[in-house]
Amino acid sequence: MRFLLGVLVGYILRGKQKLLIRFLVTLALVVYVVIPAIALLGLSIDVQRERRSRPAQTKVPVIKGLSYEDAERKLHAANLKIRLLATRYDSALQPGLIIDQVPAPGEEVAVGYSVGITTSRKDYFGPGP
């Protein structure tokens, strides 16, 4: 670029070779303005196409402490599904409440993703005899 601009400035200062000056100016515009603009436009189109091809995302709501039915409604409103992973005895909680969830609240997941839950149960099945 420096060479091309140096030649251009040199010919402009001399005031001769007007055809060569026009050619160099045109060449500089094409090389340093038009071609990069076309490349950036192509890149922009590729980025937009990539973004449109990704599945829609939604945030996982907080469902810990809710009943299964309430959590199911809340997840359905966020376009998510519910999946029971486990039940666990917890004496501190009322039976049927959600103890844990995967993925964690606030994480971004694809629309229609299943959120795994662990619920509390009322009976304790301790170690056998």
Question: Could you read off the pLDDT of 73-120 as tens digits, one per residue?
Answer: 999 999 999 999 998 887 777 888 999 999 999 999 999 999 999 998
Same-domain status, 35 and 67: no
Say what the pLDDT of residue 128 is: 44
Same-domain status, 21 and 75: no
Mean pLDDT in the chain? 86
Same-domain status, 115 and 86: yes
Same-domain status, 61 and 117: yes
Contact 75, 115 (CB under 8 A): yes
Residue 126 lies in a domain: no
Say what the pLDDT of residue 60 is: 96
Residue 33 lies in a domain: yes
Same-domain status, 13 and 61: no
Same-domain status, 33 and 6: yes
Residue 115: which H helix or E strand, with range? strand 114-121
Burial of 12 from C-beta contacts in 10 A (0-12 / 13-18 / 19+): middle
Question: Which of 125 and 62 is assigned the larger pLDDT?
Answer: 62
Residue 127 lies in a domain: no
pLDDT in tens, 52-81: 888 889 999 999 999 999 999 999 999 999
Q: Look up the domain containing 86 and give its range.
A: 57-121
Does residue 127 surpass a pLDDT of 70? no
Contact 106, 59 (CB under 8 A): yes
Least confident window among 33-42, 48-57, 74-83, 117-126: 117-126
Q: Over pLDDT 90: what percentage of the chain?
A: 52
Total domain count, the chain: 2
Same-domain status, 61 and 107: yes
Say what the pLDDT of residue 115 is: 96
In degrees, rounded to 5, the angle at the alpha carbon of residue 71 between the alpha carbons of residues 66 and 73 is 135
Same-domain status, 48 and 81: no
Say what the pLDDT of residue 45 is: 93
Distance separating alpha carbons of residues 30 and 39, to the nearest angstrom = 12
Same-domain status, 63 and 116: yes
Residue 128 lies in a domain: no
